[in-house]
Structure 1
Amino acid sequence: MVATEEKTVSKRFKMWGVLLVFSAIALGTLIEQDKDAIDENRRIWCIAVCVGSMFFSFFIVATTFKSSVADNIVGKVPEGFSIMLVVALWCGGLPVIMNPDNGIAVIRYPMIGEVIENPNLYFSSWASLIASILILGNFMQQSSIAGMSKVPAKFNKWIHLMAASIAVLASSVDIYQDSCDDDKSTATCKRAVFAFSLGAAGTVCSFFMVTIYEFFRPRLSIVVEAFLTVVLFALYCVGVAYTTSSDGPGDRVGTLYFAMWYGLFAAYFLACSSCVKDMFFGNNVPVATEPGTLEIHESRTDENVLKLNVIEEEESPVEAIDEEVGEG
């Protein structure tokens, strides 16, 4: 168990370092950007997001090198508070950075549409959000190993789907408001409405699974969860084909385009976890049938806990009868 915790912390240390690097890239790009082309309040907010992300990332990375300090921070409440705050910062900062009306990372031109004006800021911001979500999910799984709380292994996948769905929801609303004032019957507008509905459905379902999933888990059938993930995966398959093709609101490389593909991959891995692992392997637990055998197996794939089943040798009924007859 200790070795598992050390491996998990080491993996999370690397992700904190990745977050630190991408946050620094985003900050440097923002500082170099033309101040006159961006609203000052929005620019300050974006810089604050990057600085906050860098501060907490550097804090965790630095404390990891000092074992006496790391024992009280890494894997404990301070690290959990730090990553939750970083995720909240990027959830609040990414929409501002990606909004084409703000002209920070994306700009909308009348004849062309959305264009990524600042690729370094665009991709580093997305990478920072994804890295922070990975750290949060890994931290919650490590906490369950340490006995602090019980969180399913699919927790981070649901967070990824929720982040993608929120991005789809926000970007589709922005495109609809900008392009559908005069005529709402165009193909672009209809597909923007579909993207909005998909983003809303994904957000609600993933929010439910992330927040109150554990309270209903004993009553929630694995089949129900598998059905939900398969439906979301199918919807995202349709969404990618429907919104990123010709006449779709995400036909050009932009926020909606990447958010759709992001949601598709998140839904795919969720469907694989729920259907393949849980339904086909989660309940089929091997049992040792011969006395004295030792077998390692997974009782549930969600828990990621290896259990040792030892069947001790017991005196068989036949042997007991033979002894009684012998004594008689």
Structure 2
Amino acid sequence: MPSVQVEFNTEYQNAHRFPAWMALSVFSIVCLAAIGAESTRDERDAAIKWSLAVASMSMIVSFLAVVAYLMARGVFVGQTPETALVVFVLAFWGAGLPVIMNPSNGIAVRDDTVTNANLYFFSWLSLAATLFLGASLAQERTGMNVHEMATASPKTTRWFGLAASSLVVMGAAVRIFREVCEDALPVVQEGAFCKRSKLAISVGVVSFVLSSAVAYLSSQRSNAVMPILAETGLTTLLLIMWCFAVGYVTFGLTSPGSKIGNLYFATWISFILAVFLFGQAFRDYVSGRMNANSASDGPTAEDHQMHESTPEIPDDDQI
């Protein structure tokens, strides 16, 4: 009886990706329904048909994965079939999301404004679910403990999140700059809108490079760690950059990210992550300084106390 209980728990502990597959199937169904509700069969062009294909294939694949987890866990979980399905959905959403989010296609976004909220948000959630599946499976295949890494270093997750949101800011700002400023008159290129678009691109590039490097170093299990003073300085720089980005990119009529869209959300998400990273780094810095001060003062006081409490041993002449 005890052996059966241990085997049962072990099987379900190995099924930690099952909720992600369930979520992906639900997200895909919502995306499919959102696309179908906003267009008729006669109105569907190549972009809409491709979006329908992505959502449909994602729904089918995730449903098959859910069934496999329930019916054939031993030959599916962490094996080649699950790896193939994860790669499949990653490729589909990686190729389908840019089409869905392209304002020129008018599927989820039109004129840099979200027109299909369900499709917009659940497409991003579908991509997030597939990224989690890919990262979890890759770490499991390489022998890493996903749960242990996630609980031991939440800071690493924030660095990866900042890298991803910075990449979205960079891509969205580049697209806006190409559509509005690249072939425009010099007076438009020198205007506030184009200058702020360049600022968004610059901040996105710098933040992506720095956060990607720190995230990679943090994810490596080595003895080398970033000095707390350097991390505090880096997070301070990123926080200042994103403060300027939020102000110049999302506020005002001449701002490229003033409308609800990818640039707006990604800029604010990057700013929030920068705030969290700075707060954690500053807390660690202050805590380290306090520990260092207490460590330097501790031995002196302890030695003084031991010196007072230790009786003097008389010399042989005194005896």
User: Same-fold call, TM > 0.5?
Assistant: yes
Aligned to 1:132: 130
More off after superposition, 154-163 vs 42-51:
154-163
Contact 2:108 2:116 in 1 (8 A): yes
SS at match of 1:193: helix
Give the Å deviation of 1:131: 2.8
Give the whole-Å Cα distance in 2 for the aligned partners of 1:186 and 1:123: 32
1:14 maps to 2:15: no
1:185-204 aligned at under 5 Å gives the runs 185-204=190-209
Distance 1:83 1:248, change over 3 A: same
The code of the aligned residue for 2:246 comes to V
Q: CA deviation at 1:21?
A: 0.9
Which of 240, 244, 248 pairs up with 2:250? 244
What are the residue-to-residue correspondences of 1:284-295 with 2, within 5 Å?
A: none
Q: Pick which of 215-224 and 158-167 moved more.
A: 215-224
- Could you tell me how far 1:190 is from its partner in structure 2? 1.2
Please identify the structure whose Cα radius of gyration is greater: 2
* Structure with greater proportional strand content: 1
Determine whether 1:62 maps to 2:67.
yes
Could you list the runs of 5+ residues in structure 2 that have no partner in the other structure? 1-5, 292-319
Mapping for residues 151-300 of structure 1, pairs under 5 Å: 154=155, 156-180=157-181, 181-182=184-185, 183-209=188-214, 217-223=222-228, 224-225=230-231, 227-246=233-252, 247-271=254-278, 276=283
Structure 1's 71 and 22: CA in aligned 2 closer, same or farther, altered over 3 A? same
Counterpart selection for 1:101 from 96, 100, 104: 104
Segments of 5+ residues of structure 1 without an aligned counterpart are 109-113, 285-328
Contact 1:250 1:257 (C-alpha < 8 Å) held by counterparts: yes
Alpha-carbon distance in structure 2 between the residues aligned to 1:201 and 1:190: 17
* Residue type of the alignment partner of 1:70: R
Q: Distance in 2 between matches of 1:63 and 1:215?
A: 32
- Give 1:128's aligned amino acid: S
Q: Secondary structure at the match of 2:105?
A: coil
Contact 1:251–1:257, Cα closer than 8 Å, also in 2? yes
- Determine whether 1:44 maps to 2:42: no
Looking at secondary structure, tell me which structure has more helix per residue: 2
- Alpha-carbon RMSD: 3.8
Question: What SS class does the counterpart of residue 253 from structure 1 fall into?
Answer: coil
Q: 1:214 to 1:18 in 2, by over 3 A?
A: closer
| Number of residue-to-residue matches in the alignment | 273
Distance change (3 Å), C-alpha of 1:22 and 1:144: same
Please say if residues 136 and 156 of structure 1, whose CA atoms lie closer than 8 Å, have aligned partners that are also in contact. Answer: no
**2:28 maps to which residue?**
23
Q: How far does residue 87 in structure 1 lie from its aligned partner after superposition?
A: 3.5
**CA distance in structure 2 between the partners assigned to 1:216 and 1:101 by the alignment:** 44
Tell me the percent identity.
Answer: 33
SS at match of 1:144: coil
- 1:325 is aligned to none
Residues 72-111 of structure 1: pairs in structure 2 closer than 5 A: 72-76=75-79, 78-108=81-111
What residue is the counterpart of 1:317 in the other structure? Answer: none
